[in-house]
Structure 1
Amino acid sequence: MTDNLFDRLRRLLETPGPINWGLAREVAESVAGPAEPVDPWVAEELAELTHTAALRVAAVSPLDAAAGAVRTLDRRSWAAESVTGFAYLAEPLAAKMGGSEAGEAGPLMLPLGPALVGMQMGSMAGFLSHRVLAGFDVGLPVQGAPPSFVVPNLAAFTADHGLDERQARLWLALHEAAHRAEVAVPWVRRHLGDLVAAFVDGLRPDPAGLQERLEALQDPDRLQDLLDDPSVLSGLVAGPESEQALRRLQAFMALLEGYAEWLVERAAPGLIPEAPRLREAIDRRRAEPSPGEQMLQRMLGLDLEHHRYRRGTTFCTEVARRWGEEALARLWDGPDGLPGPAELEDPVGWAARLLL
């Protein structure tokens, strides 16, 4: 048993590069579970609803809401295809773990880091795959991933809340169309990337945590735990050094979600009679972070505050009510038009700076 264990460890360390993405994908698929065939009829309906949603969002938005190809996936496929989309988080983290900031553990982490970070990323993607409904449901962007729906999770969500399946699918398609319109604004992806980079730059390795995990590699029983349950790797990194960077990222994510929900609320009447019930179900869902979201917080100190996303919707609703939709559209002129963390709670303060 022990010989086999260390054979597995040796294979983990044979892959060059900052992150062992092959291992990450293997772990992601293992945590996500077995493949589940997607009903072709469901895939066809979601493609149809995606087209309808794009037209509807375009009718109520100043942004480009053109429809695109969409994929219908099971949990395993989503996890395998999405794990490398978090490279912008993982690669700077891996570099820090093998540097001088890692203390005495740094030199030893150079050969171990690719496997450990790969296991973390795979575990996170695998856990997220049990919760995420569609691409923009993660919170953080999954780079390079095509628009997609995770069909088993959507089916479970509608069943758990007693919702009409077609209405729930259309609501989610509207939500995805709204977010696609946002990220199609030329500066949005770049700005989001800058905010994430500022946050990651403020992270520091936890030398004590790294040392503990290195010691685990010398104990066959603890090593087996690491290999069989990658979630125990959480906590390799201390919390964010820059609270301001975190607050700015949280505010921007809340605004993106809030504006998308504001568009959905305008697009849904006449199409989705159950929209209020769907809204309530989504709010309840956000109040309970998934294991994947909890792991993201433990691993990076990153709390996206999904439970507070409604403040972004409240901001957009209030700006449109007080100063009109043209004023709200100023959000998309550039980063300077965005509300800061304090202004997100104070639309009047934002308007005083930008409109008056």
Structure 2
Amino acid sequence: MDTTASSANHSAPLPRLINWELAATTAARLTPAGPKLSGTQIRSAVENLRGLADVSVDHVHRITGLDAARDLRDSQVLVVDRAAWSKANARSFELMLQPALKALAEKRPDQLKSAATALGSAVTGTQMGAILSFLSSKVLGQYDPFSALLPGGPAGGRLLLVAPNIIALEQELNVEPADFRLWVCLHEQTHRVQFAAAPWLRAHMLEQISELSSSIAAKADSLGDRLQQALKVLASSAKAAASGQEPAAGEGAAGSLLELFRGPEEKAVFSHLTAVMSLLEGHANVVMDAVDASVVPTVKTIRQRFNARSKNRSALENWVRRLMGLDAKARQYTDGAKFVRAVVDRVGMEGFNRVWERAENLPTEQEIHQPELWISRMDYSRA
């Protein structure tokens, strides 16, 4: 009798803090479709992006020297629209939250149920949909290693190229489409190669996220309050969007939503994940910028116009980017690229590639800013 009850409780669905299906449909409803193209133009753009994504792998291999670039057949490349990107990310986000929810269900089931009841998954689903909507109109591409954990997901993960955003930006910048698309593919395919070169990296990142989950579970009594605060920040963002005003000083709304879920216990894990993301993004940018006119004939023009674009964002977009923590992501591109270039200058690309050998070789956040510390720790005199 007890065993049956236990089994029933174990198989019972977890309370939902966020309605992820609603989040995906809300994002699809709120997000404009993108540039107006005929069916023929769409098919041509999709075929062109697929071809350039394939071509870019050889360049990634030549620049990085990573043999993993020779065979990426266990992962997928998908050319998608904005709605499909939102749906894919809603599924991945739900997957990433499962460890935290399971830990909460085991340790504090009443707290989890109470938080879910108080918040309402429909409300949080709508709010998350608004976030996905904003992001889905900005991101050019994304490599998702965690999609391998989804039912039927490819073993090596999935690369998504968001065609409407790539086309919209190439039109905005007035650059050569084929050159710009190859330039973007070089960055995104580098991420795919990184995880192929370091097959342990996905599990390592999941382990770090599990540590965060355990920390969150230990403070389940504050989860509802923090989620409520997050909703208040989102509401403040919506008011700012409607009025065109900057947030008032001291409201806390000018900070990233992520800060609401970062306590003292999580700082070390956040620091490590920040360093890893800086490494991945910086390395991809270095590869992107290593091409010359023989590969991308108009690369100088693309770089200049792409970099200048960030200086012309509206006050509202800058505000939303701060809210989402996207400014921090932009700094990761810069900091990580400086780290990679400094290391390669000192020990060469082969020496840098030791970073992909094992988790212990990943740089710390301090080492990202002081590459000589990483070089010293690797002790190349013994290599």
The interval holding the TM-score normalised by the smaller chain is 0.7 to 0.9
1-side partners of 2:361 and 2:258: how far apart? 36
1-side partners of 2:331 and 2:269: how far apart? 19
Aligned to 2:353: 329
- 1:94-134 CA distances to partner (integer Å, 9 max, x unpaired)? 67898998998962634755334433433322221111111
Aligned to 1:23: 22
**CA contact 1:127–1:291 (8 Å) conserved in 2:** no
Aligned to 1:188: 201
**CA contact 1:283–1:307 (8 Å) conserved in 2:** no
Which is worse superposed, 113-122 or 284-293?
Answer: 284-293
- 1:177-204 CA distances to partner (integer Å, 9 max, x unpaired)? 1111001121111222233333455456
Closer/same/farther in 2, CA of residues 327 and 97 from structure 1, 3 Å limit: same
Structure 1 residue matching 2:365: 3-state secondary structure: coil
Aligned to 1:143: 147
Closer/same/farther in 2, CA of residues 268 and 95 from structure 1, 3 Å limit: farther
- 1:219-264 CA distances to partner (integer Å, 9 max, x unpaired)? xxx9xx9xxx9xx9x9698330122222211111010111122223
Q: Percent identity?
A: 25
2-side partners of 1:60 and 1:48: how far apart? 19
2-side partners of 1:119 and 1:202: how far apart? 26
TM-score normalized by structure 2?
A: 0.70
**CA contact 1:43–1:72 (8 Å) conserved in 2:** yes
2-side partners of 1:272 and 1:73: how far apart? 24
Aligned to 1:238: 260
2-side partners of 1:285 and 1:197: how far apart? 37
Structure 1 residue matching 2:175: 3-state secondary structure: coil
Aligned to 2:170: 158
- 1:13-56 CA distances to partner (integer Å, 9 max, x unpaired)? xx975343322222222222458767111111111111110122
Closer/same/farther in 2, CA of residues 195 and 306 from structure 1, 3 Å limit: farther
Shift in Å, 1:154: 0.9
Closer/same/farther in 2, CA of residues 182 and 156 from structure 1, 3 Å limit: same
Closer/same/farther in 2, CA of residues 33 and 274 from structure 1, 3 Å limit: same
TM-score normalized by structure 1?
A: 0.74
Shift in Å, 1:349: 1.2
Which is worse superposed, 282-291 or 331-340?
Answer: 282-291
Shift in Å, 1:150: 1.2
2-side partners of 1:210 and 1:46: how far apart? 39
2-side partners of 1:305 and 1:274: how far apart? 26
Q: Which amino acid aligns with 1:121?
A: M
Q: Name stretches of at least 5 consecutive residues in structure 1 with no aligned partner.
A: 1-14, 216-221
Is residue 70 of structure 1 aligned with residue 92 of structure 2?
A: no
- 1:250-304 CA distances to partner (integer Å, 9 max, x unpaired)? 111010111122223334451113323433445456676778755544xxxx974
Closer/same/farther in 2, CA of residues 26 and 291 from structure 1, 3 Å limit: farther
Match for residue 130 of structure 1 among 121, 124, 137: 137
Which is worse superposed, 21-30 or 165-174?
Answer: 21-30
Aligned to 1:49: 52
Structure 2 residue matching 1:324: 3-state secondary structure: helix
2-side partners of 1:349 and 1:214: how far apart? 40
Aligned to 1:171: 183
